[in-house]
Structure 1
Amino acid sequence: MQYHGLSSVFFLSLCFGIVLVAYGQEEHTRRSVLDQRWFPGHATWYGEPEGDGSNGGACGYSKLVNEKPLKGRVSAGAPVLFQKGKGCGACYKVKCMDHKICSKRAVTVTIMDECPGCRTDKPHFDLSGAAFGRLALPGQAQVLRNKGELDITYRRTPCKYAGKSIGFHVNEGSSPYWLSLMVVYADGDGDVSSMHIQEAGSGKWEEMKHLWGAYWVIIKGPLKGPFSVKVTTSTGKSLTAKNVIPSNWTPKSTYNTNSKFK
């Protein structure tokens, strides 16, 4: 009886292990691509009726929110979307469910601000007035805004910035002892889950810490450029920009790369 009991335990353990491996593979596959399913959520709007929403916003994109291609595509996100800043830059398609006054087409928006007061029962997008209005049928934009809150469906979508190179913006106040960077126009996933930096003449990648919004920082020094930067997104895609930040870098400057996420 003991022999059969041990065999049963071994068989169950083996099956459980196979299930865990299969689940792990499925989870890896799920995370390796943007989820194409549509999920229920809520949407409101803020700012001016035809406005861009944020004036800088909690992600720190500053005047970029008022310039194309981001102009009019701004959304603040509830905590589950904002993710304490790590959700900054992610792109979503949003569709209104009230087909009496809403178009069936989706609008594409980018998380560029935080909405700490948004509802938490479902993911909540607080859209710019311009983006919210584009959900409406022709001539119904103001009627839609007057509703205030909508039931919507949403999904992640790749960020596309035609004609724009991915850039690294140096935070105001940066120095050789405190260097802070933000990624702009990050195509594909759009968000950043980790960032590493490599000094001139070094073979070591130093991990940067999340600072606030879309900004990351390394506190060490004196740091010597030019700097290479490695970025990883929420689905594990990565980009390495060799010597992208020159030795004579200056705060509030943006340095572009031709590298792409893989």
Structure 2
Amino acid sequence: MELSLDHKNSMLLLIMILLVVLGYGQDYICSRATYYGSPDCLGNPTGACGYGEYGRTVNDGYVAGVHRPYRNGTGCGGCYQVWCTTGECTKEGVIVVATDFGVGDWTDFLFPAKAYTKMARPGFEAYLLSYGVVDIQYRRVPCTFRDSNLIFSVHERTNYPHYFAITIIYPPGVYDVVGAQIWQEDCKAWRGMRKPYGAVWDMENPPRADLRVRFLLSATGNVNDATWVESPTMITAFWNSGTTYEVAVTL
């Protein structure tokens, strides 16, 4: 029995909806990727995001230096699914965390060898390495190696009481941190923090008391459609570098 045009259109619409629900309707970007060598095949401990050693081993070492996704550090900590378009590659590709700025031969992703070869089908890793640069597709995805909370830590260069800095080490879902503020109790007002580089936010001469911090989150990177979330935990005076805090996020 031949279907009518209305039935065909209805079935096509249903298929498109199902594809979006299953995740195949997500936008992806065409680009290129390459890799660099390192003694242990892990990431760069002096990366531009300010993660230090954490930037080498987070996500089991599946990390990347990124170009366009870096966005002056706003993209630090974001997760991306990347797959190459040659016959040696799997359909799943690799999910990496942006921990550094990096660009090669017109590339958006600069992988350590471990992450680069993860895109290959078993037994084809050497072939992929021989190319040096491959065409890819990528998209932003929620990170899954932790829970859905925003996680930040007190930066190692914090110097009480003159200088306070934090590092956003895990943004929630596909949200970016596009602003950070500290409560000034004597003025009854929020003071904006500066983003000097990467995922680091800082303030000179912060309040000399327990600190209340809040963050501006955006799914598009635009402050005009962003939402403030406040940390439920006060950062105690005489801050200790390396201390980690979590902020539950429900948007």
Q: TM-score, normalised by structure 2?
A: 0.78
Question: Structure 1: which amino acid aligns with 2:94?
Answer: V
Q: Where does residue 140 of structure 1 map in the other structure?
A: 124
Q: Where does residue 249 of structure 1 map in the other structure?
A: 239
Are the counterparts in 2 of residues 229 and 242 from structure 1 also a CA contact under 8 Å?
A: no
- Structure 1 residue 124: deviation in Å? 1.4
Q: Where does residue 71 of structure 1 map in the other structure?
A: 60
- Structure 1 residue 158: deviation in Å? 1.3
The alignment covers a number of residue pairs equal to 221
Match of 2:36 among 30, 46, 49: 46
Moved more, 231-240 or 171-180: 231-240
- Structure 1 residue 261: deviation in Å? 4.8
Q: Where does residue 60 of structure 1 map in the other structure?
A: 50
Q: Where does residue 105 of structure 1 map in the other structure?
A: 92
What secondary structure, in the 3-state scheme, does the structure 2 residue paired with 1:229 have?
strand
Question: Structure 2: which amino acid aligns with 1:81?
Answer: P
Written as runs of structure 1 = structure 2, the 5 A alignment for 1:214-225 is 214-225=199-210
- Structure 1 residue 91: deviation in Å? 1.4
Within the alignment, does 1:239 sit opposite 2:239 as a pair?
Answer: no
Q: Where does residue 213 of structure 1 map in the other structure?
A: 198
Q: State how far apart, in whole Å, the 1-side matches of 2:180 and 2:199 are.
A: 11
Are the counterparts in 2 of residues 197 and 230 from structure 1 also a CA contact under 8 Å?
A: no
- Structure 1 residue 40: deviation in Å? 0.6
Q: Where does residue 114 of structure 1 map in the other structure?
A: 101
- Structure 1 residue 148: deviation in Å? 0.4
Question: Structure 2: which amino acid aligns with 1:193?
Answer: V
- Structure 1 residue 133: deviation in Å? 0.6
Q: TM-score, normalised by structure 1?
A: 0.75
Specify whether residues 164 and 157 from structure 1 end up closer, same or farther in structure 2 by C-alpha distance, changes over 3 A only.
closer
Are the counterparts in 1 of residues 175 and 217 from structure 2 also a CA contact under 8 Å?
A: no
Specify whether residues 49 and 42 from structure 1 end up closer, same or farther in structure 2 by C-alpha distance, changes over 3 A only.
farther
- Structure 1 residue 191: deviation in Å? 3.3
Specify whether residues 245 and 231 from structure 1 end up closer, same or farther in structure 2 by C-alpha distance, changes over 3 A only.
farther
Match of 2:164 among 179, 183, 193: 179
Q: State how far apart, in whole Å, the 2-side matches of 1:254 and 1:163 are.
A: 18
Specify whether residues 215 and 261 from structure 1 end up closer, same or farther in structure 2 by C-alpha distance, changes over 3 A only.
farther
Task: State, as a whole percentage, how many aligned pairs show the same letter.
Answer: 27
- Structure 1 residue 253: deviation in Å? 2.1
Q: Over aligned residue pairs, what C-alpha RMSD do you find?
A: 2.5
Are the counterparts in 1 of residues 78 and 143 from structure 2 also a CA contact under 8 Å?
A: yes
Specify whether residues 245 and 128 from structure 1 end up closer, same or farther in structure 2 by C-alpha distance, changes over 3 A only.
same
* Largest Rg, 1 or 2: 1
What secondary structure, in the 3-state scheme, does the structure 1 residue paired with 2:26 have?
coil
Are the counterparts in 2 of residues 237 and 261 from structure 1 also a CA contact under 8 Å?
A: no
- Structure 1 residue 73: deviation in Å? 1.7
Are the counterparts in 2 of residues 195 and 232 from structure 1 also a CA contact under 8 Å?
A: no
Moved more, 83-92 or 232-241: 232-241
Specify whether residues 192 and 151 from structure 1 end up closer, same or farther in structure 2 by C-alpha distance, changes over 3 A only.
same
The unaligned stretches of length 5 or more in structure 1 are 1-34
Q: State how far apart, in whole Å, the 2-side matches of 1:234 and 1:176 are.
A: 34
Match of 2:79 among 68, 83, 91: 91
Specify whether residues 152 and 237 from structure 1 end up closer, same or farther in structure 2 by C-alpha distance, changes over 3 A only.
farther
The unaligned stretches of length 5 or more in structure 2 are 1-24, 221-225
